[in-house]
Amino acid sequence: MSESDALTRPFVTPEGVDLELELAAASERMTAFLIDAVIITLSMVALTLALLFLAAITGYRSAEAMAVLWVLGAFVLRCFYFVFFEQSARAATPGKRVLGLRVVMRDGTPLSLDAVFARNAMRELEIFVPLLFMASQANKVEAAAEIAALIWCGVFVFFPLFNRDRLRIGDMVAGTWVVHAPKRVMEPDIASQTGGRNITFTPEQLEVYGIKELSVLEEVLRKRDPDVMRAVAARIRAKIGYPDGDPDEAFLLAFYAALRKHLESRLLLGKRKRDKYDK
Amino acid sequence: MTEAPLTLKSHRFRMEREADWRRLEEILDLVETGKRRELTDSEIIALPVLYRSALSSLSMARAISLDQSLISYLSSLATRAYFCVYGTRMHMMHRIAQFFARDWPATVFGLWRETAVAGSLVLAGIVAGFLLTHASPDWFYSFLPEGMTQGREPGATTAFLRQTLFENHRPQGLAFFASFLFSHNAQIAILAFALGFVCGLPTAYLLFQNGLSLGALLAVYAEHGLGFDFMGWILIHGVTELFAVTLAGAAGLRLGWTLVFPGEESRAVALARAGRTAAVVMIGVVVMLFCAGLLEGFGRQLITSTFLRYGVAALTAVLWGGFFYEYRGGRRVRV
């Protein structure tokens, strides 16, 4: 089972199609959170400066109103930044959007406001308590107590690493999980491109490879790196016993189209040749 | 040329359906960027049809096509469309109205056992704090950290204590005070709820501790015959605030209880259900604390008659009690 299979979860729509959702990796979650933390911090700085500026140009008569706005603004940013973005149509904060993540109910029902609130209220336990603990290092407590507190905080902070579904405590309490659902663009079909040459292959030559090799070839052709293409073309020519002569790109395009046609027609007959070892 | 690429069945399949996919993508782009209102009637009608056709395209592509990028494109498109079609997009105002009219009071009602336990913990804390401080004033400093009390201590004079209760503030500064109290209390309440995850024990401790400091203060004032006035000073906002704190504690206790005793469901399912129930209560708690902040910041500083303060306290008690616990006839919702 490969890395990506371990994070794929069945998600069957009412129409009976499995969308095969892919869970977000812990590293992606962490990155998304850091992006959000930076945004929150910068917003806080901007809010402070803006209010100071406003107070200054009104000659500090409105200082109290600005202070009220500051306190309420800080509260809203800290408690409702995540809630606001996650209950929107994208179900993701800006940090999650950058990484193509979204919050989904584990049971497939629509994401509700209470679930979003629950999963984010738990951040108090996961982020705020450990931060508070680190800040309170000044009042020297006993070493044993400190270690105990460190382990205690670690349990909450690293919770997602200790379960299969990468759930943090907020996800457990809200019944949600975070999936990788990026917006993809439709790329051109490589099989419709030709290198401008007539290159044909015998059925024996097309028998060598399977679906896995085809998708690797597809990746190579989408990147179009000349060095990689030269190496791959050389490997394929040697393997199937095809003479040198055609340009690498044209050869690979033609081989991709021919191999795909060959494998797809076998697919229609119910034979899925996984890779080159699959007879 | 025997192997003409354009004769690929998977390629023809793609050519035939591509326009539909693009159309669906355009609609999804609008919805996801919050421009739902820009959708035309025909696009709204087309959305579910296009969604189903994208799903069937995905199944089809998985069966016949080996173009990996096409399959991942379709899978992403179908997933986005699924969330667009099946995510209920109730109008925000409607959602808020439903929250106040049904969800919040019904959920609080359903949480009455935990509320009773949390309330008893606060009460027990008040009684213990009062009795201990009354017996030996030294206890006072175990319940309230120094510096927090601003001179409201066992050694203070009657005149000073009276002045702390009836200081008549000018309106300046009160709004800031109110907003500070609100955000501070709301933060503590959310923490009390979150700590419920740790089997509810820290939540119980926070509730009891809250009661202890209140009881200790009450003892100091009662010593000088100001107990009645002090309770007026506390209760004008305290009815709302203590009730909100108790509800936050109750939400945390529900969480901790469910974690330990999930009942017939699996622990994960039971916990998720309890978490969402508790979250409804917590959203309401934030609203209550906002009211409490206003009462404390403005009401208490502007109303300096003890009887009027008791009047406001009684009024809030009746309002909250009626809102949460009045008989709902047929529409009582079990949570």
- Do B189 and B137 belong together in one domain? yes
Chain A / chain B CB contacts < 8 angstroms: 209
pLDDT at B172: 64
Residue B169 binned pLDDT confidence (cut-offs 50, 70, 90) = low
What is the spatial distance between Cα B12 and Cα A58, in angstroms, rounded to a whole number?
68
Domain that holds residue A114: 3-180
Kindly report, residue by residue over B79-91, the tens digit of the pLDDT: 999 988 887 666 7
Go through chain A and tell me how many residues it has: 279
pLDDT at B5: 44
Final residue in a domain of this structure, among B43, B68, B89: B89
Domain count, chain A: 2
How close are the terminal C-alpha atoms of chain A, in Å? 21
Q: Determine, for residues B183 and A183 on separate chains, whether the beta-carbon distance falls below 8 Å.
A: no
User: Does residue A276 sit within a domain?
Assistant: no
The letter for the amino acid at B203 is T
Helix (H) or strand (E) holding B93: helix B92-98
Q: Determine, for residues B1 and A89 on separate chains, whether the beta-carbon distance falls below 8 Å.
A: no
- Do B55 and B123 belong together in one domain? no
Task: Dump the DSSP string for B285-331.
Answer: HHHHHHHHHHIIIIIHHH---HHHHHHHHHHHHHHHHHHHHS--GGG
- Do B217 and B279 belong together in one domain? yes
Final residue in a domain of this structure, among A126, A158, A180: A180
Contact present, A247 and A195 (Cβ < 8 Å): yes
**Rounded to a whole number, what is the distance in Å from the CA of B58 to chain A's nearest CA?**
8
Give B193-254 as a 3 state SS string: HHHHHCCCHHHHHHHHHHHHHHHHHHHHHHHCCCHHHHHHHHHHHHHHHHHHHHHHHHHHHH
Domain that holds residue B44: 5-89
Residue A27 backbone dihedrals phi, psi, to 5 degrees: -65, -40
Residue A116 backbone dihedrals phi, psi, to 5 degrees: -65, -40
User: Does residue A274 sit within a domain?
Assistant: no
Among candidates B66, B75, B194 on the partner chain, residue whose Cβ is nearest the Cβ of A214: B66
- Do B153 and B44 belong together in one domain? no
CA-nearest residue to B85 within chain A is A110
List Cβ neighbours of A275 (8 Å cut-off, separation of 6 or more): A209, A210, A211, A212, A213
**Rounded to a whole number, what is the distance in Å from the CA of B272 to chain A's nearest CA?**
4
Task: ipTM value, please give it.
Answer: 0.83
Please state the pTM of the whole predicted model: 0.83
Both structure tokens of A163: 């379960």
Residue A208 vs residues A45, B2, B68, B84: alpha-carbon distances, Å? 62, 19, 20, 43
For range B94-112, the mean pLDDT: 87
CA-nearest residue to B255 within chain A is A173
Both structure tokens of B122: 């606060």
Final residue in a domain of this structure, among B55, B89, B123: B89
Residue B25 vs residues A148, A183, B36, B73, B74: alpha-carbon distances, Å? 52, 10, 14, 11, 10
- Do A173 and A205 belong together in one domain? no
Kindly report, residue by residue over A17-71, the tens digit of the pLDDT: 998 899 998 899 999 999 999 999 999 999 999 998 988 888 777 777 888 888 8
- Do A144 and A19 belong together in one domain? yes
Can you tell me whether residue A12 is helix, strand or coil? strand
Kindly report, residue by residue over B13-33, the tens digit of the pLDDT: 888 999 999 999 999 988 888
Using CB atoms within 10 Å of the CB of residue A241, give its burial: 0 to 12 exposed, 13 to 18 middle, 19+ buried.
exposed
Helix (H) or strand (E) holding B268: helix B267-294
User: Does residue A226 sit within a domain?
Assistant: yes
Query: Which residues in chain B have their CB less than 8 angstroms from residue A181's CB?
Result: 76, 79-80, 83
How does the average pLDDT of chain B come out, rounded? 85
- Do A202 and A137 belong together in one domain? no
Question: What own/partner pairs with CB < 8 Å and gap ≥ 24 does B225-234 have?
Answer: B225/B158, B226/B158, B226/B161, B226/B162, B226/B165, B228/B306, B229/B162, B229/B165, B229/B166, B229/B306, B230/B165, B232/B306, B232/B307, B232/B309, B232/B310, B232/B313, B233/B165, B233/B300, B233/B306, B233/B309
Query: Which residues in chain A have their CB less than 8 angstroms from residue B22's CB?
Result: 186
User: Does residue A55 sit within a domain?
Assistant: yes
Residue B156 vs residues B126, B150, B162, B217: alpha-carbon distances, Å? 21, 10, 10, 12
Give yes or no for residue B119 having a pLDDT over 90: yes
Helix (H) or strand (E) holding A102: strand A101-105
The partner residues of A176 in beta bridges, in order of sequence, read A105
- Do B62 and B146 belong together in one domain? no
Q: Determine, for residues A124 and B190 on separate chains, whether the beta-carbon distance falls below 8 Å.
A: yes
- Do B176 and B291 belong together in one domain? yes
Final residue in a domain of this structure, among B89, B107, B129: B89
What is the spatial distance between Cα B176 and Cα A59, in angstroms, rounded to a whole number?
18
- Do A174 and A195 belong together in one domain? no
Query: Which residues in chain A have their CB less than 8 angstroms from residue B88's CB?
Result: 110
pLDDT at B171: 60
Residue B199 binned pLDDT confidence (cut-offs 50, 70, 90) = confident
Kindly report, residue by residue over B300-332, the tens digit of the pLDDT: 878 888 888 999 999 999 999 988 887 564 455
- Do B266 and B226 belong together in one domain? yes
- Do B201 and B326 belong together in one domain? yes
What is the spatial distance between Cα A91 and Cα A119, in angstroms, rounded to a whole number?
13
Domain count, chain B: 2
- Do B189 and B318 belong together in one domain? yes
Among candidates A72, A175, A265 on the partner chain, residue whose Cβ is nearest the Cβ of B276: A175
- Do B146 and B228 belong together in one domain? yes
Query: Which residues in chain A have their CB less than 8 angstroms from residue B84's CB?
Result: 89
Query: Which residues in chain B have their CB less than 8 angstroms from residue A14's CB?
Result: 86
**Rounded to a whole number, what is the distance in Å from the CA of A174 to chain B's nearest CA?**
5
Contact present, B236 and B313 (Cβ < 8 Å): yes
- Do B70 and B168 belong together in one domain? no
